[in-house]
Amino acid sequence: MKKNLVSYLVYISLVFLLITLLRKEYIVFPETIHVTYLGLSFITLFLGFIFQGLSYKVLLKNHGYFITARDAIISYGLPVFGRYIPGKFWVHLGRASYINKHYGYPFNEITYISLSSQFIGIWIVILFCSVVLVMANISLMLKLLVLVLWVALTLIIFTSYFHQLFSWLVFKIRKKKVQVPILSFRENLRVFPVFILFWGLYGVSFYLLSLSMYAQVSPLTISFFPLSAVIGIAALFAPGGLGAREAVLTGLLKLDSIGLVLATSISVFSRVWFLVGESFIFALAMILKVLRKPKTPIAR
């Protein structure tokens, strides 16, 4: 069952994606667009997806598991629409299922490593945004809030005492255990650059998208999409971060002196824009899967 999970997820996630898009009416296009900036935005976005897929290879190698770059992209791309299924773990289960099927690595361990990648990404994004927002013309309270969030997350995922305290608090509040990885800062130091790379590419691509819609945005806009994305991840009630991400983007664009109408248009169109990126990595994964040799030697 586990080895075929990714196949089931592909079909189920596509159904949920279609239902979600139809219900939310997210198929919206701007009336005017700067084609050059939009094209550059998509190129940068696609590169971001490719490097995010490759980050799984780097992360697994850091834990002593070796896979090819092709399989890293396939395992990331095939279940990418799983994020639209209610619940936040289907993407990780689908990714682990593919690796387990083709390499025989332990399913639970690979799932845990995949989940840890999400927390590393969130930590890096909040760190990056803390640095960027310090230079922004926003309230001191908001700057302190972002900094406090980063410090809290650092303590939770990198120290055993605060990790146990957080797990205990969540259990007391929700009456159920929530698996939050505890990581070694020193051991994961080598994987940080690839995470910084793909999140940076996402940020630059959104900046170019904003320019394509004739918004007079500042370079600080580079931090807006990564920050809104991790808030969307944290919003457990929103499949794929739908609604939550757009609301945060609209608020951040307004802070950058963008009018409400234009800010809303950019944030809503960014959903279609990002969906094109997801479709790209899904199609690439499907092509690579078809071209994949039946047996892939494990590189040591």
Q: Is the dihedral of CA 90, 96, 101, 102 positive or negative?
A: positive
User: Average pLDDT of 173-189?
Assistant: 73
Alpha-carbon Rg for the chain, nearest whole angstrom, is 19
DSSP string of 181-237?
Answer: ----HHHHGGGHHHHHHHHHHHHHHHHHHHHHTT----GGGGGHHHHHHHHHHH-TT
66 burial type by CB count under 10 A (0-12 exposed, 13-18 middle, 19+ buried): middle
User: Average pLDDT of 89-113?
Assistant: 86
pLDDT in tens, 223-241: 889 988 888 776 554 444 5
pLDDT, position 116: 85
Residue 289 pLDDT > 50, yes or no?
yes
pTM given for the model = 0.82
Q: Is the dihedral of CA 121, 124, 125, 126 positive or negative?
A: positive
Report the b/e string of 74-99 with b at 16+ CB within 10 A.
Answer: bbbbbbbbbbbbeebbbbbbbbbbbb
9/221: higher pLDDT: 221
Identify the band that residue 145 occupies on the pLDDT scale cut at 50, 70 and 90. confident
Identify the band that residue 297 occupies on the pLDDT scale cut at 50, 70 and 90. very low
Identify the band that residue 1 occupies on the pLDDT scale cut at 50, 70 and 90. very low
Our CA dihedral for 168, 171, 172, 176, rounded to 10 degrees, sits at -160
Query: Residue 43 is which amino acid?
Result: I
Residue 11 pLDDT > 60, yes or no?
no
At 193, list the tokens.
């650059």
To 10 degrees, what angle do helices 192-212 and 107-134 make? 60
Residue 32 is given by DSSP the state: S
Sequence ranges of the domains in the chain? 2-24+46-291
Question: Are 93 and 62 in contact, with CB atoms under 8 Å apart?
Answer: no
pLDDT, position 283: 92
Query: Residue 14 is which amino acid?
Result: L
pLDDT, position 240: 46
Identify the band that residue 21 occupies on the pLDDT scale cut at 50, 70 and 90. low
pLDDT, position 272: 84
To 10 degrees, what angle do helices 224-234 and 244-255 make? 150
pLDDT, position 71: 94
Any idea which of 9-18, 25-34, 80-89, 274-283 has the lowest mean pLDDT?
9-18
User: Average pLDDT of 103-116?
Assistant: 88
Average pLDDT, the chain: 80
Identify the band that residue 280 occupies on the pLDDT scale cut at 50, 70 and 90. very high
| Rounded Cα gap, residues 26 and 21, in angstroms | 6
280/171: higher pLDDT: 280
pLDDT, position 209: 95
pLDDT, position 3: 47
pLDDT in tens, 40-50: 999 999 999 99
pLDDT, position 57: 93
User: Average pLDDT of 274-294?
Assistant: 88
Any idea which of 36-40, 97-101, 201-205 has the lowest mean pLDDT?
97-101
Three-state secondary structure string covering 255-291: HCCCCHHHHHHHHHHHHHHHHHHHHHHHHHHHHHHHH
Alpha-carbon distances, residue 202 vs 169, 228, 290 (angstroms):
33, 11, 28
pLDDT, position 234: 67
